[in-house]
Amino acid sequence: MEQPRDKTLDFTSDGHILVFDKLCKNYQLGSVELKVLREIDLVVKKGDYLAVMGPSGSGKSTLLNLIGCLDRPSSGKYYLGGHDVSTLDDNELSAIRGRHIGFVFQSFNLISQLNVLENIEVPMFYQGMSEHRSKVRAIELAEMVGLGDRVNHRPTELSGGQQQRVAIARSLANDPLIILADEPTGNLDSQSGRDILNILDMLYQQGKTLIIITHDEDIAKHSQREIRLFDGRIDKQWYNR
């Protein structure tokens, strides 16, 4: 089994890492066509820190799934690192997801049969990292999110906030360039939330590209740029700094 082919994404230049061109996502519900995203135009540069806001059901999670190459758009173009995503095959998409993108899902999506450490190790396993190295890195990440003493617990034995932190640790496993987080502080008390925010700030400082969905104005304030979605359209967007 060869190394997952690294589709050389143009992440090195200061160019546009992510470009949406009239991107649409529709769901066919019986005879009704549900337009969840309508002609989204968006450009994200390398190192951007983007906060996506909007009412429930406005299509934020759908947008994030598209960015993360999990879903395919109904129409419009999506360029990632200079590549038209629609031209990439499944293996290439898998490689991009595993290597360059870190997901934090709204519903955590931890594997319930695995303990904390093993959950964090999953992305590293698919990149072929050695067992020892991935273990060391997983412990490091668990300590970073404050779960160093819980590494052998199953997700069901953790609180919602702790699960969320495992999900964040897992998203950082392969040191991805883009981090996509769906309400990463949604289930946390203010102190833990602040810890997470500090981590995000640190990642931003390291030059990662962050796209965060949040309902919390304070968190949005941390970002460099805010986008407000409404009914599948970009309603407003502005820069914080």
Partner 1 sequence: MFLYRTKRTLKLGIKSLWLHRLRSTLTALGIIFGVASVIAMLAIGEGASRDAMAQIARLGSLNIIVKTVQPSEDQHATGQQQSFQEYGLTYDDAERFRNSIPGVQVIVPVRRVAHQAWYRNRKIPVEVIGTVPWHLETSPIRLVMGRFLSGYDMDYKQDICIIDERVMNELFKFDAPLEQFIKIGSDYYSVVGIVSTQPIAVSSEQQEAKNVEATKKQAGANAGNIYIPLTTAKNRFGEMSIQASSSAGRRVEKVELQEIIVKVADADLVLPTRDILQTVLERFHKKNDYELTVPLELLEQAKRTQRIFSIVLGSIAAISLLVGGIGIMNIMLATVSERTREIGIRRALGARKKDIIFQFLSETLLLTFAGGILGIFFGCTIPFFVTHFGNMPTVITASSLLLSFGISGAVGIAFGMYPAYRAANMDPIESLRHE
Stretch that binds Mg ion, among 57-65, 109-117, 126-134, 219-227 (CB under 5 A): 57-65
* Partner that binds at residue 32, options ligand ATP, partner 1, Mg ion, none, CB closer than 5 to 8 Å by kind: none
Contact string 203-222 vs partner 1 (x = CB under 8 A): --------------------
Residue 188 structure tokens: 């946390």
Name the residue number minimizing CB distance to ligand ATP.
61
User: Which of these, 80, 26, 42, lies nearest to 235 by C-alpha position?
Assistant: 42
Q: How far apart are CA 96 and CA 192, in angstroms?
A: 30
Contact string (CB under 6 A) for ligand ATP, positions 34-53, x = contact: x-x-----------------
At closest approach, how far in Å is the CB of 97 from partner 1? 5
Considering only 57, 75, 77, 111, the residue that binds partner 1 (CB under 8 A) is 111
Binding segment (CB under 6 A) for ligand ATP, from list 43-51, 59-67, 144-152, 220-228: 59-67
Considering the rule CB under 5 A, would residue 162 count as an interface residue with Mg ion? no
Q: What is the three-state SS of 117-137? A: HHHHHHHHHHCCCCHHHHHHH
Contact 61, 36 (CB under 8 A): no
Place of tokens 């994200």: 44
Is residue 56 involved in binding ligand ATP (CB under 6 A)?
yes
Site residues for partner 1, window 165-194 (CB under 8 A)?
A: 170, 174
The answer to whether residue 159 forms part of the interface with partner 1 (CB under 8 A) is no
Residue 62 touches ligand ATP, criterion: CB under 6 A = yes
Separation of alpha carbons 221 and 95, rounded Å: 33
* Chain residues in the site for Mg ion (CB under 5 A): 61, 106
* Chain residues in the site for partner 1 (CB under 8 A): 1-4, 65, 68, 70-71, 90-91, 94-95, 97-99, 103, 105, 109-113, 122-123, 125-128, 130-131, 170, 174
* Chain residues in the site for ligand ATP (CB under 6 A): 27, 29, 34, 36, 54, 56-62, 106
